[in-house]
């Protein structure tokens, strides 16, 4: 390419590039791609499959579906779930039955891989869409998923 041709070509490519950014500059108002995060908290909806933390749903009678089978504990790759369980006599059947004392969940170690949810035979735990997990002390990240005084729902067997 000739000396002058090269200069002209160079300038043309530079102007093409400027046209791209220039176009966005003047349309910037409409095409803003960033979100005003803490302000838009109310409108912010995560997708239903989003994995934020493990929770154990309780019904209105403070009953959960966890039988204490420990399938989630075994499935968890990094020991985020610890289940403290015991056996007691079931009033109806008179048999000794396993129940959970504490379903401990270490959010600090969880990688949100969803294996515990898949492993759970009774759908006792599920993923919540909460993503604001920062706290001031690490100990807050260790959670007990079953609420105090809660018990197993009727009709759920191991």
What separation in angstroms does the CA of 46 have from each of 57, 87, 130, 145?
18, 39, 8, 22
Size of the site for another protein (CB under 8 A): 35
Cβ proximity to another protein: between 47 and 139 the closer is 47
What separation in angstroms does the CA of 31 have from each of 21, 26, 28, 36, 74?
12, 10, 5, 14, 47
Residue 147 is given by DSSP the state P
Q: How far is the CB of 110 from another protein (least distance, A)?
A: 11
* Residue 75 within binding range of another protein, rule CB under 8 A: yes
List the beta bridge partners of residue 63.
151
**Region of 46-54, 56-64, 81-89, 145-153 interacting with another protein (CB under 8 A):** 46-54
Contact positions vs another protein (CB under 8 A)? 7, 9-10, 13-14, 16-22, 24-25, 28, 31-34, 36, 46-47, 49-51, 75, 77, 111-115, 118-119, 127
């Amino acid at each position: 390419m000739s000396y002058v041709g090269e200069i002209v070509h160079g300038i043309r490519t530079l102007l093409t590039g400027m046209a791209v950014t220039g176009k966005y500059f003047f349309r910037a108002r409409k095409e803003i791609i960033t979100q005003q995060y803490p302000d838009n908290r109310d409108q912010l909806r995560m997708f239903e499959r989003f994995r934020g933390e493990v929770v154990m749903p309780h019904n209105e009678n403070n009953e959960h579906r966890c039988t204490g089978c420990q399938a989630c504990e075994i499935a968890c790759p990094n020991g985020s779930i610890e289940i403290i369980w015991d056996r007691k006599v079931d009033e109806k059947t008179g048999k000794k039955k396993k129940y959970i004392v504490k379903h401990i969940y270490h959010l600090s170690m969880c990688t949100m891989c969803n294996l515990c949810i898949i492993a759970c035979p009774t759908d006792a735990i599920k993923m919540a869409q909460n993503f604001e997990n920062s706290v001031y002390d690490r100990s807050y990240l260790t959670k007990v998923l079953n609420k105090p005084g809660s018990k197993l729902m009727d009709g759920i067997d191991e």
